[in-house]
Amino acid sequence: MSLDYVKFSGGFEKFMPKEYRDMVEHGPFGKKISVSQMGSFKEILEEHPMCAGCAMTLFIRLAIIAFPNPEDTITVGTAGCGRLAISQAAIPFVYGNYGDQNGVASGLSRGLRLRFGDKPKDVVVIAGDGGTADIGFQQVLHSWFRKERFTTIMLDNEVYGNTGGQESGMTNRGAVLKMAPLGKKFEKMDMLQMAKVAGCAYVATVVPNNPRRVESVIKKAVLIAREVGSTYIQAYTSCNIEYAIPTDKVMEDAKNVENDRYQFTEYVSEEAKQYLAERYGYKEFLPKPAAPAAAIPNKA
Amino acid sequence: MYLVADIDVSICAEKSCKLCTQYCPEANTIQYSEEMGKSKGFKYGSAYVAVDRCKGCAQCVWVCDNMAKNNAIKMIMIDQLPLAAVTDNIRYDEKSTVAVLSNPMIVIGN
Ligand SMILES: Cc1ncc(C[n+]2csc(CCOP(=O)(O)OP(=O)(O)O)c2C)c(N)n1
Ligand code: SF4
Ligand code: SF4
Ligand code: SF4
The CATH number for A126's domain is: 3.40.50.970
Q: How far apart are CA A218 and CA A199, in angstroms?
A: 18
Residue A279 resides in a domain? no
Give the model's pLDDT for residue B110: 46
Q: Looking at beta carbons, which residues of chain A come within 8 Å of B97?
A: 39-40
| Closest Cβ–Cβ partner in B59, B66, B92 for A247 | B59
Give the model's pLDDT for residue B107: 55
| Closest Cβ–Cβ partner in B28, B55, B59 for A248 | B59
Residue A201 CB neighbours (<10 A): 26
Residue A158 resides in a domain? yes
What residue numbers bound the domain in which B96 lies? 3-109
pLDDT in tens, A209-237: 999 999 999 999 999 999 999 999 999 99
Length of chain B: 110
Q: What is the mean pLDDT of residues A85-105?
A: 96
Residue A118 resides in a domain? yes
Cβ-Cβ contacts under 8 Å for B46 (sequence gap 6 or more): B7, B9, B12, B13, B16, B32, B33, B36, B37
Residue A283 resides in a domain? no
The model's pTM is 0.95
ipTM above 0.85?
yes
Q: How far apart are CA A141 and CA A52, in angstroms?
A: 33
Cβ–Cβ below 8 Å for A251 and B87: no
Mean pLDDT rounded to a whole number for chain A: 94
Residue A13 resides in a domain? no
Phi, psi of A127 (to 5 degrees): -145, 160
pLDDT in tens, A19-58: 999 999 999 999 999 999 999 999 999 999 999 999 999 9
Residue A120 pLDDT grade (very low, low, confident, very high; cuts 50, 70, 90): confident
Q: How far apart are CA A227 and CA A141, in angstroms?
A: 19
Question: B36 with B99: CB under 8 angstroms?
Answer: yes
Task: State CA A200 to chain mean position distance.
Answer: 14
Min CA distance, A199 vs chain B (Å)?
Answer: 33
What residue numbers bound the domain in which A98 lies? 35-268
Task: State CA B99 to chain mean position distance.
Answer: 10
Total tally of structural domains belonging to chain B: 1
Residue A20 resides in a domain? no
Total tally of structural domains belonging to chain A: 1
| A259 Cβ below 6 A of ligand 1 | no
Give the model's pLDDT for residue B38: 86
Residue A233 resides in a domain? yes
Phi, psi of A122 (to 5 degrees): -95, 130
Give the model's pLDDT for residue A96: 86
Amino acid type, A93:
F
Residue A296 pLDDT grade (very low, low, confident, very high; cuts 50, 70, 90): low
pLDDT at residue A194 greater than cutoff 50: yes
Phi, psi of A165 (to 5 degrees): 100, 45
Return the ligand 3 atom nearest residue B12 CA.
8
